[in-house]
Amino acid sequence: MSELSKEKLLEAYRMMRTIRDFEERVHDEFAKGGIPGFVHLYAGEEASATGICMHLTDQDRIVSTHRGHGHCIAKGVDVIGMMAEIYGKQTGTCHGKGGSMHIADLDKGMLGANGIVGGGPPLICGVGLTHKMRGTDGVGIAFFGDGASNQGTTLESMNLATVWNLPCIFVVENNGYAEATSSEWAVSCDNYADRAAGFGMPGTTVDGHDFFAVYETAGEAIARARAGGGPSLVEVKLNRYFGHFEGDAQTYRRADEVKQLREEKDCLKIFRKRVVDANLLEHSDLDKIDEEVAALIDEAVQQAEAASPPAVEELLTHVYVNY
Amino acid sequence: MSENTITPLTMPKWGLSMKEGKLINWLVEEGSQFSRGDELAEVETEKIASAVEASMAGTLRKIVAENDTVYPVGALLAVVADESVSDDEVNAYIEKFQSEFVPEESGDEDEGIQAQTIEVNSLNIRYLSKGDGDRVLLLVHGYGGDLDNWLFNHDELVEKTGMRVIALDLPGHGQSSKVVGDANLEFFADTIHAFLQALDIEKAYLVGHSMGGAISLCFASKYPDNVLGLGLIASAGLGDEINNEYIQGFMESTSRKQIKPWLELLFADKSLVNRQLINNMLQYKRLDGVSDALNAVSRQLLDDSGKQGRQFLDSLDTLACRICVVWGMDDHIIPASHTERLPDSVSKLVIESSGHMVQMEAANKVNQFLIDNLLTR
Amino acid sequence: MNPIPESTSVGIIANPYSSRDIRRLVSSASSIQTVERANIVERILVTLATFGIDKAIMMPDKSGLAAQLIRNLESRSHLNRAASVDLEFLDIPITSTVTDTLIAGRIFRERNVGAVIVLGGDGTHRAVARYIGDIPMVSISTGTNNAFPRFHEATLAGLALGIYLKGLVNTESMVRRNKVIRVTVNNNIEDLALVDLAITSDRWVGARAVWKMENLKELYLAFCEPAAIGMSSIGGLLDPVSRKEMSGLKVLMADPVECPMTLNAPVAPGLFHEIGILDSSRIEIGVDYEIESAHGVLALDGEREIEFSAKDEVIVRLEDDGPVTLDVEATIESAARSGVFVNHRTAGRSGEHKFRMPESLCFG
Amino acid sequence: MARKITYQQAINEALDQEMTRDESVIVMGEDVVGGSGGHGEMDAWGGVLGLTKGLYAKHGNRIMDTPITESGYIGAAVGAATCGMRPVAELMFIDFMGVCLDQIYNQAAKFRYMFGGKAKTPVVIRAMYGAGFSAAAQHSQALYSIFTHIPGLKVVLPSSPYDAKGLLIQAIRDDDPVIFLEHKVLYTLEGEVPEEPYTVPFGEANVVREGDDVTIVAFGRMVLHATGVADKLAKEGIKCEVIDPRTTSPLDDESILESIENTGRLVVVDESNPRCSMASDIAELAVTRAFEHLKAPVKTVTAPHTPVPFAKSLEDAYIPSPEKIEAAIRSIA
């Protein structure tokens, strides 16, 4: 891991912290009634998006899930625009026409959060196919959850990616629950990496609370794909702090489950301890980032609240390129 | 026509692809007499609407074809016979005709003379050659046109002059390659020169319409030894006026609605612009490369102020060959007034009630004028 | 060490995560699916049932192994007798980390099970060994590197276990005490290794597995067999040390261009690597060795576990009081030589056994 | 040069010419090459009916076989389109949309809108449709109205070889997702088609035949039926105007309304089931926007509200016939 410079470590921490603060804040603002629609939060899973997306450039594309804010931030989508989008404002990333479940920024290689469970993996085959046909070393990453892991689309896509030998990485973020249903029950083979073998690709499991473990594993999977080694599957075992959607009381979880996770498995705490214990960063370095991120999120919320909703004429635009 | 003769009036064949025509309506009544050149009926084809003209005087004894009905080429439309012929004879004639009539096969085989393609300067040039005379007449269409512009002239000119008459699609037009080089008159003149060489033709009469006229003039200037005479129809290059709006409008139109008013400008009788004519024009314009070609050509045709860029008026006298000029009085593209400054050596005709496409709207008159003033000596 | 166990209950620790690490990506290392792991446990249970062993206690998991096993047992009761074994899952919080294995090992020791069946590789056996005391381990190798566990078909491991637990033969050759490497950091006993302790120059535990050999600096080997896979292969090819020899091996490594000798070793399945050898020497039992690297990561039996820096004092010691393992081949051979498996038929009688087997050995 | 080729050849030629013109055009589908991974020849099939035969020889790996996993490869085509490729994915029979519809209507159709205008998804999904081959209920449907319902999709129904080529080239060059539906009965239909590439714009109806008495709006194969009936009735003096919208989305409603304003009578001929169909859609158009011009009730000629039957006697009764079209016209003419 010697390639992780001090700058990279700071970047990783900032990214994870930004996701965390963004989600915590959305949680609060949603509870206050400021945010419309359905919101699914990524808090607790930050090490996954960060550890993977830090290997990517803008030419690499990802597809995401309902729980897409973290992937967006990690892929470099503007936080101010994202917040405005979640508020349904004209200044939003998608001019208020997508909302939380459909934030996308193709210039950043973010092909969209996706409101359909299992909607993304087929698309990433197309991303991989494009890179392959154009002879670039770009890759496509499909993030999906344990819920989508059972969808036919996901399984079809893993098959297709192997058959066509595409530079695609299938990342199943297994947070243990598909909505309110335990993945232990709903996934016939909950050790999802196992399924990779059936598709002729390597499958690996990694601890999603540990940024370094994710970063290293993703690095190998991505390097492999860039070099023409084809698809692979990475199962990231992690946990979400909030409910499936905002308003979910999570009565299907053990009463103190989240509390314990926040204490023992928090990726930000683990990261901080590691880098400080190793004398690579000082607490003060990280505290400074905490302050800056807090200010950024404040700014994002203020701007989002102040921004105008899209004009009614916007209803009819962007249906087609031309019609 | 001798007495007691019964002559059939049949659905004409205007151009190769015509298989059938729709009789729109009769312009003369049953039993009436008509003179040669009179318009007897309106017929519409896939390509254009036009009138069936009488090739001789006679009496329209019996109308067989109904208005608004489609008939195959060669089908009996009416019977022409002197009053001395009895009704029974007329009816018997009709019965016999109808029982023996077999419409032309719709297959492509044995269609008679087909358009051909020849490679000239790496361009595929489509042309239609009819007649086998030693003397050659080349028909050169105008901007946005093609060899079908000569639908009503080609056969008759062959028939009446015995010449070999060739119509071609200029580069960028019709079904020729959509590559137009420098897109100027010299390019087209050079292509025609190479085309004639490729067909082993040393000298030819050139009849050009509109831009085709200017191309013919350019050809005559550049290759005087290869030209026998020039027929210029509503020709460019004889004055500086031109309907710039038409050029732009035609060029930019992409839909039926957009292009229709521009095409209507080409005719004195706007009703001639039927749906099929519009469709054919759109089909052409939608071929890859056409838009670029037309753009390039128009930039060469016009100067910055929207006037014609090239003038041949002052050099007409220096051309050794015979020149005649025809114009439609109601030409909205290039005004008929351009005939006024022509030198006396040039024979000219301005035809009333005709527009820019005068060779179509007044085909007989144009044909006869060309025959009388250019092609026969 | 008493070769006759006091208890005939069996503990089962099946690591659901072994053979799934990053080496799948970098070297096409094998992977044993959850379904197959459940099948392995089922085959062991079938065999135990045949011996009348009716109690098994298993470490729970949240990755589908236990769930799959339960599904198997419910749906296949008409096929075999595995379900007749009372299978208890330990009631412990599941962390899906090595902690689960450590706790299960400790509970098995407290409950004094007769033996512990271990499904995993070197890393899993190491974790089980930490708290299991003298309870024998029966190994089923389902890991990436399997230098410690010998490869046996589960049915045969169960057979040996049945023979052992039922006391059908009485020989000390059935169980063997192993060497162990213990490591202390700042005088605290931190962990142990059954095969190899590697010191790498990594900063982070990261994805745990050791596969970047350029980072490998020191190796301390309890034993190293020439036909082994993993980092012990370096020692095995350089200076083999058997499991029984009362010494170990220390190897110092560096960039091959800086070293007097190199060798190409199968450091992971599908991964040969040129290793630069600076020096190697035997290490003696009971002697403290101070490591030479100033900072890095300690990797135990192939897994990076402990990050250390210049301020930490890391001591390595080879000892001979490691965990006990059941020798499957020796046990079955001994039983066979004693005639345990043979039914002698005589006319008019249904049969007479030299040893009365609780059940026919017709499994199922 | 224009020459006569079949509808099928026209489609092959359009694909070939566009693949030649633009490197980003790729073709994928089940057996569109045929023979991948086998021990015989590549390009063994060129699609189940041989439509794409020969493209592999010219364009190599830019035409690719897929596993029979429509969600996977239709989704891949959609994803590639967002990356700037111009994939043409063949969904063999439109009836198979059920297994991949999400990728079409929730993904491809919605990206541009959901993403605030930032996405372009120039994917073409080709499929054959229609009854007439005794292919029964799961291989014969005319499901274009379902796609027409979805904002974000364009839906194309060529009825002639000329239109097939020009509309397909337009579809490939178009920046929006296009559902391109080919009637399987039309594949052998011959017609004049220019050799050169050309386009036929979307949203421009083809007035196949002009007439002042009755407007017939017909879709796909039904254009041929309608034209045949119109020719027949013309001899009796009933002048029908036959309008082929060519694309159901966008729809050239102006041409249809203009014609209705002129004739005052409308017959819609639609091979699909009647409920929520193009027939009901065009009837609605007439009633809501040209009511004052109507001189007679609007007539629709459609399949019944049943699945497509197998037995020929039943299938013949299912498909709108020239006789039914004629009767509908006569009832209001």
Is the confidence at residue B112, as pLDDT, over 90?
Answer: no
Q: Could you tell me the two tokens for B42? A: 């309106």
| pLDDT value at residue B111 | 54
- Kindly list the distances between the CA atom of residue A287 and the CA atoms of A10, A210, A212, B237, C311, in Å, as whole numbers in the listed order: 11, 20, 20, 82, 25
| pLDDT value at residue C29 | 83
| pLDDT value at residue C146 | 84
Is the confidence at residue C353, as pLDDT, over 60?
Answer: no
| pLDDT value at residue C144 | 81
- Tell if the CB–CB gap between C22 and A194 is shorter than 8 Å: no
Give the pLDDT band (50/70/90) at residue C5. low
Give the pLDDT band (50/70/90) at residue A2. very low
| pLDDT value at residue C30 | 83
C-beta separation of A212 from A1 below 8 A: yes
- Tell if the CB–CB gap between A216 and C96 is shorter than 8 Å: no
- Kindly list the distances between the CA atom of residue D45 and the CA atoms of B136, D25, D53, in Å, as whole numbers in the listed order: 52, 20, 6
**D206-332 CATH, one of 1.10.10.60, 3.40.50.970, 3.40.190.10, 3.40.50.920:** 3.40.50.920
- Tell if the CB–CB gap between B286 and D239 is shorter than 8 Å: no
Is the confidence at residue D1, as pLDDT, over 90?
Answer: no
Q: Could you tell me the two tokens for A121? A: 């993996």
Mutation choice for C interface testing from A9, A212, A224, A263 by most C CBs within 10 A: A212
Which one, of A208, A37, A182, lies nearest residue A115 by Cα?
A37
| pLDDT value at residue C244 | 92
pLDDT tens readout for residues C66-87: 988 988 888 877 777 777 889 9
| pLDDT value at residue B51 | 83
Is the confidence at residue C352, as pLDDT, over 80?
Answer: no
Measure CB to CB from residue D194 to each of B70, B117, B287 and give the nearest one: B287
pLDDT tens readout for residues B315-330: 888 888 899 999 999 9
Cα distance from B108 to chain D (closest Cα, Å)?
Answer: 9
Euclidean distance between CA atoms A41 and A66, whole angstroms: 9
- Sign of the CA dihedral running C118, C123, C125, C131: negative
Mean pLDDT of B292-314: 91
Give the pLDDT band (50/70/90) at residue B16. low
Closest Cα in chain D to B124: D1
Walk me through the domains of chain C, giving residue ranges and CATH numbers: 10-178+323-353 (3.40.50), 180-319 (2.60.200)
Give the pLDDT band (50/70/90) at residue C215. very high
Using the Cβ of A191 and the Cβ atoms of chain C, whether some distance falls under 8 Å is answered with yes
Mean pLDDT of C173-184: 92
Q: Tokens 């001591």 belong to which residue? A: C315
| pLDDT value at residue C4 | 54
Q: Where are the domains of chain D?
A: 2-194, 206-332
pLDDT tens readout for residues C268-295: 888 899 999 999 999 999 999 999 999 9
First vs last Cα of chain A: how many Å apart? 52
pLDDT tens readout for residues C192-211: 999 999 999 988 888 888 88
Helix (H) / strand (E) containing A169: strand A168-174
Euclidean distance between CA atoms B67 and B78, whole angstroms: 12
| pLDDT value at residue D330 | 97
Average pLDDT, chain A: 94
Contacts of D150 in chain A (CB under 8 A): none
What is the DSSP-derived secondary structure letter of residue D103?
I
pLDDT tens readout for residues D44-83: 899 989 999 999 999 999 999 999 999 999 999 999 999 9
| pLDDT value at residue C6 | 65
Measure CB to CB from residue B108 to each of D4, D162, D234 and give the nearest one: D4
Q: Which residues of D are catalytic?
A: 139
Cα distance from A85 to chain D (closest Cα, Å)?
Answer: 10
Is the confidence at residue C363, as pLDDT, over 60?
Answer: no
Q: Do chains B and A touch (3 or more CB pairs under 8 A)?
A: no
Q: Which fold has domain D2-194?
A: Rossmann fold (3.40.50)
Euclidean distance between CA atoms B331 and D226, whole angstroms: 40
- Kindly list the distances between the CA atom of residue B346 and the CA atoms of B185, B341, B349, B368, C94, in Å, as whole numbers in the listed order: 22, 10, 10, 16, 107
Q: Could you tell me the two tokens for B223? A: 């290759």
Contacts of A105 in chain D (CB under 8 A): 118
Is the confidence at residue D309, as pLDDT, over 70?
Answer: yes
Is the confidence at residue C90, as pLDDT, over 70?
Answer: yes
Give the pLDDT band (50/70/90) at residue C347. low
Q: Which CATH architecture has domain B6-100?
A: Beta Barrel (2.40)
What is the DSSP-derived secondary structure letter of residue D198?
B
Encode A121-137: b = buried (16+ Cβ within 10 Å), e = exposed: bbbbbbbbbbbbbeeee
- Tell if the CB–CB gap between C20 and A203 is shorter than 8 Å: yes
Q: Which CATH architecture has domain A6-316?
A: 3-Layer(aba) Sandwich (3.40)
Mean pLDDT of D164-168: 98
Euclidean distance between CA atoms D175 and D179, whole angstroms: 13
pLDDT tens readout for residues C240-279: 999 999 999 999 999 999 999 999 999 988 889 999 999 9
Is the confidence at residue A15, as pLDDT, over 70?
Answer: yes
Euclidean distance between CA atoms D241 and D237, whole angstroms: 13
Is the confidence at residue B270, as pLDDT, over 80?
Answer: yes
| pLDDT value at residue C346 | 62
Q: Where are the domains of chain B?
A: 6-100, 116-375
Give the pLDDT band (50/70/90) at residue A164. very high
Give the pLDDT band (50/70/90) at residue D38. confident
CATH (residue range B116-375)? 3.40.50.1820
Q: In percent, how much of chain C has pLDDT > 90?
A: 56
Using the Cβ of D26 and the Cβ atoms of chain A, whether some distance falls under 8 Å is answered with yes
pLDDT tens readout for residues A255-264: 899 999 999 9
| pLDDT value at residue C174 | 87
Euclidean distance between CA atoms D119 and D104, whole angstroms: 15
> Quick check: do D2-194 and D206-332 share a fold?
yes
